[in-house]
Amino acid sequence: MIKTAPSVWGECLSFIQDNIKQQAYKTWFEPIKPIKLSGEALTIQVPSKFFYEWLEEHYIKLLRVALVKQLGEDAKLIYDVRMENNYSSSKPHTVKIPSSNRNPINPQGITMPLDFNKRELRNPFVIPGIQKVKIESQLNPNYNFDSFVEGDSNRLARSASMAVANKPGGTSFNPLLIYGGVGLGKTHLAHAIGVQIKDKYPDKTVLYISSEKFTQQYIDSVKANTRNDFIHFYSMIDVLLIDDVQFLSGKTGTQDVFFHIFNHLHQNGKQVILTSDKAPVDMQDIEQRLLSRFKWGLSAELQVPDYETRISILQNKLYRDGVEMPEEIVEYIAKHIKSNVRELEGVLISMIAQASFNRKEFTLSLTKQIVDKFVKNTKREVSIDYIQKIVSNYFELDVTTLQSKTRKRHIVQARQLAMYFAKRMTKASLASIGSQIGKRDHATVLHACKTVDNLTETDKQFRKYVDDITKKLTF
């Protein structure tokens, strides 16, 4: 039988597939196309220079054995690398690169030198003055586990974060996605993980970055035609922490490159930590293949702290700042500032500043003054309980009936409206909304929101319901 490039490569793939993990095979070998067979030289097309470098670095021995089995000891491998042209609409051109066959099994084998001038890797975080490339972690040492107060609202997230920090890449929490509303401690926990890992494993490369900065770096790399350097840089990270991953929404190119970086890190046992203001199920305009990977590990929600936790947060902050404050004042702040940790600390800082600048003691009168101003200047977030109460009163129902399993039309519509307004006016996840409104699942909430949108457009009476309830909730 006459050998062809597809037949030889097909046999090579059968051998390779039996010797590596299935995910690695899909990522690094399925995209390869056999192009040409000339004597003992097989030419294969790979999608990028980074792809070629990765094969040469990690799979050259395996490729060598597979080729020798098919073509004999004189087998040669040539890469046909697609080079993207980022400045014009012309098709990608290709550059042929002979395999360097580093660390060959048989030193008599492929020895052709590379004819490609490798550029020096551009590292966005090189510290000037240090000869050896070093990646600055971008971590804030003040955000550590000691300064993060544990309570019922954050216990799961904190425990998972501690587990990851003690054994990065070695737990089932990979990736670890921490999600919740503004000011609940997502960024704090992400930094705390990084800080502890750097302390426990000084040799590990840890990097914290916001999704906006990651996106901007990617855009800059495309403009400068250094996309492969960008990917290569992130592939070197041992622990990658990406803050506010929901901002990748709608950014197709950035999502695509992050997908490949994520795959590489995960396959190689590296740790990925993500934060978001939404659960994966609520993220819009994020590719499904990326969302499915977010769900591989653990998604831990940070909820609004309860009264006891708010007291502990205030006491912890006062202790760290070396400030003494009467208990009744701490309790007053905790009772009136409920939405998030950032606002609690903001009031405390204002209190300390006012008292020291005006040389006044902490009094309940001063506290009420500052808290009142703070609450007025902070956009009020309507609670799900409040929404259910307003909707129930509007339809002359009680909240228990609203949450019941009855399928009577007017009660179902009232329940759907409560879910709709909870989605619009709170930062709660769909799952959390469903749980609080009759123990429904997130799919029911999603269906309710779509139903309300449709009825608002087609039913005049229903539109009046929406307008009336909106006025009551925003009054």
pLDDT value at residue 345: 75
Q: Could you tell me which of 306, 346, 314 has the C-alpha nearest to residue 331? A: 314
Answering whether pTM is above 0.85, one says no
Q: Which residue has the higher pLDDT, 385 or 363?
A: 385
Give the model's confidence band at 442: pLDDT under 50 very low, under 70 low, under 90 confident, else very high: confident
pLDDT digits (tens, 9 = 90+) for 85-142: 333 333 444 555 555 543 333 323 222 323 333 333 334 444 333 333 457 788 888 8
- Give the angle 119-125-251 at the CA atoms, nearest 5°: 85
Q: Is the peptide bond before 175 cis (omega within 30 degrees of 0)?
A: yes
What is the tally of helices (H) and strands (E) in the chain? 20, 9
Q: State the amino acid at position 92 in one-letter form.
A: P
- Provide φ and ψ at 28, rounded to 5°: -105, -15
pLDDT value at residue 148: 85
Give the model's confidence band at 431: pLDDT under 50 very low, under 70 low, under 90 confident, else very high: confident
- For the segment 56-68, the average pLDDT, to the nearest whole number, is 85
pLDDT value at residue 104: 35
pLDDT value at residue 10: 92
Strand 239-243 and strand 76-83: the pairing is: unpaired
The most confident of 68-72, 138-142, 357-361, by mean pLDDT: 68-72
Report the largest interatomic distance among the alpha carbons of the chain, rounded to a whole angstrom.
96
Reduced to 3 states, what is the DSSP secondary structure of residue 13? Answer: helix
CA distances from 317 to 130, 222, 344, 346, 379 (A): 37, 44, 10, 11, 24
Query: Would you say 258 and 213 are in contact if contact means Cβ atoms under 8 Å apart?
Result: no
Give the model's confidence band at 392: pLDDT under 50 very low, under 70 low, under 90 confident, else very high: very high
Q: Which two tokens stand for residue 107?
A: 């030193």
- For the segment 234-262, the average pLDDT, to the nearest whole number, is 88
The most confident of 282-296, 327-341, 418-432, by mean pLDDT: 418-432
pLDDT value at residue 57: 75
Query: Would you say 226 and 119 are in contact if contact means Cβ atoms under 8 Å apart?
Result: yes
Give the model's confidence band at 297: pLDDT under 50 very low, under 70 low, under 90 confident, else very high: confident
- For the segment 345-361, the average pLDDT, to the nearest whole number, is 71
What's the mean per-residue pLDDT of the chain?
79
Give the model's confidence band at 380: pLDDT under 50 very low, under 70 low, under 90 confident, else very high: low
Check residue 338 and report its DSSP letter: -
Domains of the chain: 5-98 (3.30.300.180), 155-302 (3.40.50.300), 307-377 (1.10.8.60), 384-474 (1.10.1750.10)
Q: Does residue 64 carry a pLDDT above 70?
A: yes
CB atoms within 10 A of CB 87: 9
Cα distance between residue 235 and residue 228, in whole Å: 10
pLDDT value at residue 391: 94
Q: Could you tell me which of 151, 166, 153, 42 has the C-alpha nearest to residue 98? A: 42
Q: Does residue 5 carry a pLDDT above 50?
A: yes
In percent, the amount of the chain with pLDDT more than 70 equals: 84
pLDDT digits (tens, 9 = 90+) for 182-194: 778 888 999 999 9
Give the chain's end-to-end CA distance (angstroms, integer): 83
Give the model's confidence band at 299: pLDDT under 50 very low, under 70 low, under 90 confident, else very high: confident
Give the model's confidence band at 241: pLDDT under 50 very low, under 70 low, under 90 confident, else very high: very high
pLDDT value at residue 452: 92
- For the segment 180-206, the average pLDDT, to the nearest whole number, is 88
